[in-house]
Amino acid sequence: EEKETVKSENKEVLIQDARTGLTVEALKKAILNNLFYVQGKYPEIATRNDYYMALSFAVRDRLLQRWTSSVKQYLEGKNRVVSYLSAEYLLGPHLANNLINLGIYKEMEQATQELGVNLQWLIDKEVEPGLGNGGLGRLAACYMDSLATLEVPAIGYGIRYQFGIFEQDIRDGWQVEDTDNWLRRGNPWEIARRELNYEVKLGGYVQHYMDRDGRYRSNWMPELTVKGVAYDTPILGYKVNTCNALRLWKSEAPKSFDFQSFNSGDYNHAVNQKIICENISKVLYPNDETISGKILRLQQQYFFVSCSLQDMIGIHLRQGEKIEDFNVTFAVQLNDTHPAIAIAEMMRLLLDEHDLEWVDAWRVTTRTFAYTNHTLLPEALETWDLELFGSVLPRHLELIYEINKRFLDEVTIKVYGDHQKISSLSIIGEGPRKFIKMANLACVGSFAINGVAALHSDLLKKTVLKDWYAYSPEKFSNKTNGVTPRRWMVLSNPKLTALISEKIGENWIKHLDELKNLEQYADDPEFQKSWMQVKLEMKQELAKRILGKTGVKVDPESMFDIQVKRIHEYKRQHLNVLHLITLYNRLKQNPKMDMVPRTFIFAGKAAPGYKMAKLIIKLITSVGDLVNNDPDVNHRLKVVFYPNYNVTNAQRIYPAADLSEQISTAGKEASGTGNMKLSMNGALTIGTLDGANVEIREVVGEENFFLFGLTAEEVTQKRNEGYDPYTYYKSNKELKLAIDQIASGYFSHLDDKIFKDLVNNLIYHDPFLVLADYESYVACQDKVSEAFRDKAAWARMSILNTARMGKFSSDRSIREYCDDIWKVKSVPVHLNGDS
């Protein structure tokens, strides 16, 4: 409990004012004040948005109080700071999360109620900042929450996209994209720091000369200079005073007009320059796990990295420290290779702007950065065409050549004559056109390299980063992903949270391992009943939303079989569909059969340019149209495609899941994090031995996990032997029927062309071994159905899943990063004025 006190006439006096007070009265006063002084309204004429803003500013005031205290404390103590560089942050709505972390959810509920407005109604008004694609961006958001909760001094750096991930609508069964204008009604959670801005050069050429002291110098003459302006969002930890900054950069023109052009009458040129500059932070690239190779993307990456490093150097020098000690002040984590250009930019800043010698600059750089790899998919490993790269970053191209030359000299001594190794370690790829390999740049320049699940880290060492592992094994480690229980349990599943806390207290919210205290109730029939009652209520709520959004009526008593994530061939939503069609065919052949009723729920966005992914969505909706309207099925099967999967919708879906589909081809999903959130909310998993599934199965116990499919090793072996999907298609009757139906237009009003590419891809190529895993998947699903009939046994497994998920708190992940990689410590924050 926060108490703010001042000494007055030798008495401790409690201050509960409208800006900082946490009581119902103080909150009421704050809301009314903001309504009047910020929104300019009195209650009778205030809109829902006015109330949302008034409430949010009331919460923000309380965050700012903690934020300024945190900053003050960090600076005074000269503490080592974590700097997280990420091109994406998939934050989700702030309001409810901040109420929870401040510990004033109940108080605010009462305050709003007394003012005659409903809190949930205002929470639902928030437009979430969708500044990320999927797991990678959401991980960054969970990590920011845990850093603050563990009281670690940290800054998150990224891009303030004006338009985040597109909004998805389904029309005629197809995905259509709409722009995400999230800033339309203003953003109460950010503070523009106009005074915090940096110039970033782009394009042009480099001049070389000798200065008066005989020092060789480079002078980058850019074609364009843009300005980055800082926008800060406070990130408060759970029931602590630590409030860190998420600092996102907005690009602008350095001056509003190019006056030279303007005065000489070239108005268009002047305005165009402004547009070009503003374009850099305009829109998030909607590709998950695929590189785009576009100039604008490289500009975005460089833009935010350069602003961030200039900002960090400024902070470091203002502390009175020497530039040579930069790595003592900051540990900088690269969230995949998107910010890897930081390594060359750090060198440029140290050499060209701060006059260090090469060896000193390289020493500082390689003690500063650590790199997290998030994927083994070859199509996701970033490369840049060398010529394109040089046209945007001519100075960095020179620096990369030099870094590479020095590095390869060293390599050559070690692996003399092994040209294969040398070319695999080289930052520059040779081919018809040369290219820059960003993963290699990240590896040379970092002191630590990690994967995001045990299997993934292991495969990294054996495959894509094999030669790097052989070269510097000491850099490698694993850091299994985690998710924050504050958002993914407390906020999204308040009823389950209350039930758990009733039994074991509230400590688990900060120490998730304590969930294991629930195990003792797993066999308790009363507890099982309450547990399943919460599940049912969450399913009823979701059913209502489904009806509203899609018009499909689903039965909350049926098994909610859920696959929600980006649509990607490697995640194999089509394998799920093949099972669905198989169940449908069984029912058609035997309408009287006793089948466990299932509701198949899919959600996820497809990259707008990813044809096959979009076709998979159309397949799901087409099968759904037929199945949902077939009287023979008699409501035993329902298919839902829930549109516009984002953080807000994920929060509503996870608590309602009975079955969590984690069915990627083994070796392809680096970790997955939806798998953790679903399991925490009591869903059982059907999954392959892939990513974090392996570790989830380990902790929940193999008897509480539905395993199927080839292992990563078997997948590789099968490919090497010459995998032929056609033989699987021919030899399995149910599989053949399902595929033939798709091909013949059975689900598409007899249109036999629409799914042709998908079908041909499956039976002739099948790069993700859907057909090879089909039989094992369907057999496993049959076991799932049988298990679901035994309600008590299912409840037990569900409880044990939640009880054993402690490991997958992002608090555990962050603690490991802090101890093993960043070497940073907690710094408890006291409120200013607090004793």
Q: How far is the CB of 816 from ligand OX2 (least distance, A)?
A: 14
765 in catalytic set:
no
Helices (H), 280-333: 295-318, 326-329
Complex with ligand OX2: residue 461 or 598, whichever CB lies closer? 461
160, 374, 598, 614: which is the annotated catalytic residue? 374
571 in catalytic set:
yes
H-helix or E-strand spanning residue 270: helix 267-279
Measured CA to CA, the distance from residue 706 to residue 454 in angstroms comes to 20
405 in catalytic set:
no
The answer for residues whose C-beta is within 8 angstroms of residue 211's C-beta and 6 or more apart is 217
Q: How far is the CB of 715 from ligand OX2 (least distance, A)?
A: 16
Complex with ligand OX2: residue 70 or 693, whichever CB lies closer? 693
The closest alpha carbon to 677, from 695, 651, 700, belongs to 651
Complex with ligand OX2: residue 648 or 673, whichever CB lies closer? 673
Q: How far is the CB of 566 from ligand OX2 (least distance, A)?
A: 8
Q: How far is the CB of 132 from ligand OX2 (least distance, A)?
A: 9
Using the 8-state DSSP alphabet, how is residue 332 labeled? E
Write phi, then psi, for 570 (nearest 5 degrees): -70, -20
62, 227, 338, 571: which is the annotated catalytic residue? 571
CA-CA-CA-CA dihedral for 537, 539, 544, 547, to nearest 10: -160
Q: Is the dihedral of CA 349, 352, 356, 360 positive or negative?
A: positive
Token pair 């294969």 is at which residue? Answer: 420
Measured CA to CA, the distance from residue 355 to residue 377 in angstroms comes to 40
94, 316, 566, 668: which is the annotated catalytic residue? 566
Q: How far is the CB of 687 from ligand OX2 (least distance, A)?
A: 13
Q: How far is the CB of 374 from ligand OX2 (least distance, A)?
A: 3
Measured CA to CA, the distance from residue 44 to residue 153 in angstroms comes to 43
247, 396, 437, 565: which is the annotated catalytic residue? 565
CB 118 within 8 A of CB 32: no
Write phi, then psi, for 170 (nearest 5 degrees): -110, 120
Complex with ligand OX2: residue 496 or 805, whichever CB lies closer? 805
Burial of residue 626, with CB atoms counted within 10 A of its CB: 0-12 exposed, 13-18 middle, 19 or more buried: middle
What would the two tokens of residue 78 be?
A: 């000269």
What would the two tokens of residue 475 be?
A: 């850099």
Complex with ligand OX2: residue 135 or 624, whichever CB lies closer? 135
572, 677, 796, 812: which is the annotated catalytic residue? 677
- Strands 684-687, 706-707: parallel, antiparallel or unpaired by DSSP? parallel
Q: How far is the CB of 668 from ligand OX2 (least distance, A)?
A: 8
Measured CA to CA, the distance from residue 553 to residue 635 in angstroms comes to 9
673, 685, 688, 802: which is the annotated catalytic residue? 673
The closest alpha carbon to 84, from 152, 165, 164, 182, belongs to 152
Q: How far is the CB of 672 from ligand OX2 (least distance, A)?
A: 5
Measured CA to CA, the distance from residue 443 to residue 369 in angstroms comes to 9
566 in catalytic set:
yes
Complex with ligand OX2: residue 93 or 672, whichever CB lies closer? 672
b/e map 66-84, b = 16+ CB within 10 Å:
bbebbeebbeeeeebbbbb
Complex with ligand OX2: residue 327 or 576, whichever CB lies closer? 576
Complex with ligand OX2: residue 285 or 330, whichever CB lies closer? 285
Measured CA to CA, the distance from residue 747 to residue 624 in angstroms comes to 9
Q: How far is the CB of 707 from ligand OX2 (least distance, A)?
A: 18
Complex with ligand OX2: residue 241 or 450, whichever CB lies closer? 450
Q: How far is the CB of 769 from ligand OX2 (least distance, A)?
A: 18
Complex with ligand OX2: residue 672 or 709, whichever CB lies closer? 672
565 in catalytic set:
yes
DSSP of 457-505, one letter per residue? HHHHHHTTTHHHHHH-GGGEEE----B-HIIIIIIT-HHHHHHHHHHH-
3-state secondary structure of 802: helix
Measured CA to CA, the distance from residue 480 to residue 372 in angstroms comes to 11
Single-letter amino acid, residue 65: Q
| Chain residues in the site for ligand OX2 (CB under 6 A) | 134-136, 139, 288-289, 336, 374-375, 380, 452, 481, 669-673, 691
Active site residues: 374, 565-566, 571, 673, 677
